[in-house]
Amino acid sequence: MLPLLIVTAAAVVVMLAISIKRSHLLAVWLTLVGLAAAFFSLWIVAPLTPIQVTPLLIVDGYALFYMGLILAATFVTVILAYGYLENQSGYREELYVLILVAALGSVVLVASSHFVSFFLGLEVLSVALYAMSAYLCARKPPLEAGLKYLVLAAASAAFLLFGMALVYAQLGTMQFGQIAAMLSGGACYSKALLLPGIALIITGIGFKLAVVPFHMWTPDVYEGAPAPVTAFIATVSKGAMVALLLRYFYETGMQHLGSVFLVFSIIAIASMIAGNLLALFQNNVKRILAYSSIAHLGYVLVAFLAGGTRAAEAVTFYLVAYFITTLGAFGVVSVLSNGERDADVLDDYRGLFWRRPVLAGIFTLMLLSLAGIPLTAGFVGKFFLVAAGASSALWGLIFTLIVTSVIGLFYYLRILVALYAPPAETGEAAPAGGLPALSRGGSYVLAALSVLLVWVGVYPAPILDAVQRAVSTLRLF
């Protein structure tokens, strides 16, 4: 419980601090300290696990692992946001309150073992995200993104709620553990209500994961939201949902229901195909990354469907790799953005290598990791996903994964080509007075992320051990 309380307290403290004295730096420091304290409190809590905190929350090794992941990612987002907002005019401090609230929602999600905490966590996360997407309200795209996200997320939340109600009406319980017991205990229930209920819940989850056919919002929101916020949506919000998905379905054993399996297979295949194909036609780096994230969640679902401990490990490991990579990629975007607009058009990156070799190198690493090329975390992650799929002989899904990831390679290469295009072709002379300085915090974070990326890609054993220990506490159905 301690980490949750610390995050909550941090949000309150930051809010109060803003009301006393407006200082960007102070807000950032308070936020970072709060996040770090919450992160380290995980080790204090660890010996006590697993504990059931009220019927709503379960704090076990699995929850702690994901909390750590979320808190670390939030930490990175905050640093990126600081560098990003320094260039912006207007009030900046409230964003950190929102980030903390969103992190709180995510942390609740990964620990939830009950429909109520599921919904609570989701809403806390979503409401904070509406405001975060539209934070730079002087510009048009963020407003549009925020509004789109608000309408669609609210609708999907309604679906989710209705689905929960249907399941509850049928089984009479909202606790994951009891649902599992009833499903396996052969209690008489009618599928006529249960299946629509599950389907509606999948809709709600699918929306947050942005898998096809619930992906419509993704490119617009990714493009419109400020780059650090996009990073947050792409990692923390999706990661928390995947954690919940694993717990919910693995603990209740619902994915063994034939129709649920079929639905997820279709979603996975459609996401991989649509995500990768649509990304081919984009010229906006944020949109490309948006579509690629749709595809990546499709890959994750392949391992999710494989079932079993190793699959859960593969999914979790892949998420770690995906977090590092996505934060890095959006980090580059956010570091390059200026006060007027985000650096999101492909032309912003043309010839970057000849201007800023290190930054281009980092971006290259991130793209290669997304494409699953060796020496990067993405390679190991994808390898585990394919291995998980192969161990359960899901050949159709695996072949889709392979073929679509080659298509995916094509648009990553497009960005790479732009990065390394000779400076002469850009048509503009290098600015005489040198290049604008990059934010220092952002640069350090990016460097750290690249080191981490390569380290996990070359020597994944320690992370894999941690993942294995975390997943072992999951009560598999």
Q: Which of 169, 406, 430, 451 binds another protein (CB under 8 A)?
A: 406
Taking the complex as a whole, the smallest distance from the CB of residue 377 to another protein amounts, in Å, to: 13
| 413 scored as a contact of another protein (CB under 8 A) | yes
Q: Does 320 bind another protein (CB under 8 A)?
A: no
Cα distances (angstroms) measured from residue 306 to each of 211, 322, 364, 470: 18, 19, 31, 19
435 scored as a contact of another protein (CB under 8 A):
no
- DSSP three-state, residue 259: helix
Chain CA centroid to CA 277, Å: 21
**Other residues' Cβ atoms within 10 Å of the Cβ of residue 246:** 25
Residues 369, 310: contact at Cβ < 8 Å?
no
Contact pick of 417, 430, 447, 451 for another protein (by CB under 8 A): 417
Closest approach of another protein to the CB of residue 2, in Å: 30
Q: Where are the alpha helices (DSSP H) in 87-114?
A: 94-111
Residues 228-257 that bind another protein (CB under 8 A): none
Residues 325-364 within binding reach of another protein (CB under 8 A)? 353-354, 357
Q: How far apart, in whole angstroms, are the C-alpha atoms of residue 387 and residue 384?
A: 5
- Contact pick of 16, 151, 266, 402 for another protein (by CB under 8 A): 402
280 binds another protein (CB under 8 A): no
Task: Provide, rounded to whole angstroms, the least separation between the CB of residue 417 and another protein.
Answer: 5
Between CA 96 and CA 78 the distance in angstroms is 7
Residue of 85, 386, 415, 456 that binds another protein (CB under 8 A):
386
Distance, in Å, from the CA atom of 342 to the CA atom of 175, rounded to the nearest integer, reads 44
CB closer to another protein out of 139 and 310:
310
Q: CA-CA distance, 442 to 440, in Å (whole number)?
A: 5
Nearest distance in Å: CB 389, another protein: 9
Tokens for 115, please give them: 């429909």
* Nearest to another protein of 440, 469 (CB atom): 469
Q: Does 426 bind another protein (CB under 8 A)?
A: no
Contact call for residue 455 and another protein (CB under 8 A): no
Site string for another protein, 169-198 (x = CB under 8 A): ------------------------------
Question: Is 420 a residue that touches another protein (CB under 8 A)?
Answer: yes
Q: Which of 63, 464, 467 is nearest to 247 (CA)?
A: 63
107 near another protein, judged by CB under 8 A: no
Answer for which of 178, 391, 426, 443 binds another protein (CB under 8 A) is 391
CB contact at 8 A, 167 and 179: yes
Q: Is residue 429 a contact point for another protein (CB under 8 A)? A: no
CB of 424 to another protein, least distance (A): 10
Nearer to another protein, 29 or 420 (CB): 420
Phi, psi of 165 (to 5 degrees): -60, -40
Give the helix ranges, DSSP H, for 338-394. 352-355, 357-371, 377-391
Q: What is the CA radius of gyration of the chain?
A: 21
Inter-residue contact 68 to 320 (CB < 8 Å): no
CA distance 384 to 303: 8
Provide the residue type at 379 as one letter. Answer: F
Binding flag, residue 396, another protein (CB under 8 A): no
Rule CB under 8 A: which of 458-477 touch another protein?
459-461, 464-465, 468
How near is the Cβ of 461 to another protein at its closest, in Å? Answer: 5
Choose among 107, 153, 111: nearest CA to 130. 153
Residue at 247: amino acid letter: R
Q: Which residues bind another protein (CB under 8 A)?
A: 313, 353-354, 357, 368, 373-375, 379, 383-384, 386-387, 390-391, 398-399, 402-403, 405-406, 409-410, 413, 416-417, 420, 422, 459-461, 464-465, 468
